[in-house]
Amino acid sequence: KRQDGAVAMEMQPLKSAEGGDSGDTQGTRPRGGPKKEKSVLQAKLTQLAVQIGKAGLAMSAVTVIILVLYFVIETFVVQGRPWVAECAPVYVQYWVKFFIIGVTVLVVAVPEGLPLAVTISLAYSVK
């Protein structure tokens, strides 16, 4: 107690922006309670979803590479056009278009593959 009768309190600085100690959350579980164990089906679905994501990424990369190679071979080898510096922005537009097509393949592959993963996992789990 201080002389004026007020109680002195010790103030400690906050360690995180949320207002709590960030060290307290390390090694502890979230507020939701104990960690739920994954079932065999959930584990297989997760594994299959990761595989589908990797396959979609690979296919989108292959798509971009094939489109770029096709454009370069068709333009500069078959048609015999020389590289013109003034046309570089046009070439870049084509390459950006090919990249966008690759991203589209990736974005479509993952959500469309997840129902397939569920169907395959259910078929194998029933056996």
Asked, for residue 12, whether it belongs to a domain, the answer is no
Asked, for residue 62, whether it belongs to a domain, the answer is yes
Domain count, the chain: 1
Spatial neighbors of 124 by CB under 8 A, at least 6 apart, are: 44
> Is it the case that residue 2 has pLDDT exceeding 70?
no
Asked, for residue 93, whether it belongs to a domain, the answer is yes
Which structural domain, as residue segments, surrounds residue 101? 39-126
Q: Collapsing DSSP states into helix, strand and coil, what is residue 28?
A: coil
Asked, for residue 5, whether it belongs to a domain, the answer is no
> Is it the case that residue 83 has pLDDT exceeding 80?
yes
User: In percent, how much of the chain has pLDDT > 70?
Assistant: 70
Asked, for residue 6, whether it belongs to a domain, the answer is no
Cα dihedral sign for 40, 41, 42, 43? positive
Position with higher pLDDT, 79 vs 3 = 79
Asked, for residue 111, whether it belongs to a domain, the answer is yes
d(CA 78, CA 19): 65
d(CA 54, CA 109): 10
pLDDT at 44: 80
Asked, for residue 24, whether it belongs to a domain, the answer is no
Asked, for residue 97, whether it belongs to a domain, the answer is yes
d(CA 18, CA 104): 37
Q: Where are the beta strands (DSSP E) in 1-127?
A: none
